[in-house]
Structure 1
């Protein structure tokens, strides 16, 4: 009988029905697991399920029965994939489940920033409308999305879905080529050109050694149109200290971030110092978390585990 250990149930919303594999198995579930407890809790496990609990080489070395890790997320940087590969441990992730929820959240941030929704709401709370002595007032900028240009970093299913929504709103779309690439090809625009031409920049790519701090002060200084900067992908793609500096210098027009380098953020995170500004919105990594998307994610996790048990592993990474 296979033993399955779910390390961090609390990272999946309470609305999700936690279905279990159809085959005979032993199930052990924890609400959350600290990094130092991972090895002990996976002792004797054949299959591990993790969302954010890290499974590193130090833990993997002692787990002689471990045969599979099912990552309940698309990003799998919490797992030492190279160590798993060398020991014959299958690692599977989930894909495509967030094709609606992340783009919708992305555009929620874009709409709110482009039309100064947060700023106007605060004005009403503060009594500005009551004191205006006319039917409306013009304290903050309001810009249409139609006719504007959105630069998209990442041409996977999420980037494509964002582009589909953008085109339906009458926006021009640019897909950025990989940073440092000389020949962009017909489907991509040079990285630097996207920075220069876009009114909105949105990130939809994984965090890797190559993409870490992909956008920092040199990139901000190339942004000619004071774009909105939106990140619903991974913290660490943007240098956060440089982002705040760019905001202070007027190089970007607003910030909409759902992900930060450290989550929850540490007290010294520079974005925490600017949360009260009307052109800054930070949400707590919830772009992925519609009820529908979380259920689809979990169903996919169980599907991968059942496929592994049948000898046909799916969505294998690394």
Structure 2
């Protein structure tokens, strides 16, 4: 927080100088316009998302979630997938919740399904996607279906092939809860906002740089090569590690690319990226992460491509 305050004050002091530099350089002006447009549009949804995420962390405990899950494997996986839509949360919050829910058999598969579904298909994310793509209502439907199918597929794959011995990290459980609900809420919201906002800045800056630094012929080439565009944007989603409440605005800014690769970007990002891989390795163990992360990337990319071609067409 002190770094954030100092940065804001510093930018305020150099505001006039920065404005003069931007006004005389068309390329910098274009990049600044793209950056500000993405950041200003995404920020309200980011704030709303972290507030809801903080409320979930305060009032919805892992033990309570575990009691809501059915015992039958297929039913538990479906319930966890649909439950992700009703319990909005950031990717960073869903990993610890899933770890606390995790157990052998049914509970483990359902926990992983919830971990992938909650940050991808919750109402805040879907509304943000609708705002980012005002002329493409099918984009919201395609994102919801593809993300839900990805979560359910990974839960089913774990139920079929997962091995408890891959979980090498034990979860430390506190013996006594001393923090008040207000303290829990404010700490969760503060943590999620600072982390998500930092990645939003990186993502908006990357999108602005792509508009200015990448030649237009490269985008034309990607637009004409659907498979190449899908692979490039899947890799970009993994590297940028954007928050799911804000990634739709970055995807919408890449209007020079077809809709299907941008859908892949939106489905892959909340499922697996570099920060999620690190968190999964820390919570579950390296043996789990090096198996689960690549499988999630393949499943998310494949499902998003199939759903995109079916709903959006080759565009």
- Per the TM superposition, whether the score is higher than 0.5 is no
Structure number with larger C-alpha Rg:
1
Q: Relative CO higher for 1 or 2, CA cutoff 8 Å, sep ≥ 6?
A: 2
Of Structure 1 and Structure 2, the greater helix share is in 2
TM-score range relative to shorter protein: under 0.3
Give the number of the structure whose residues are more often strand, by fraction. Answer: 1
TM-score normalised by length of structure 1 = 0.24
TM, length-normalised to structure 2: 0.25
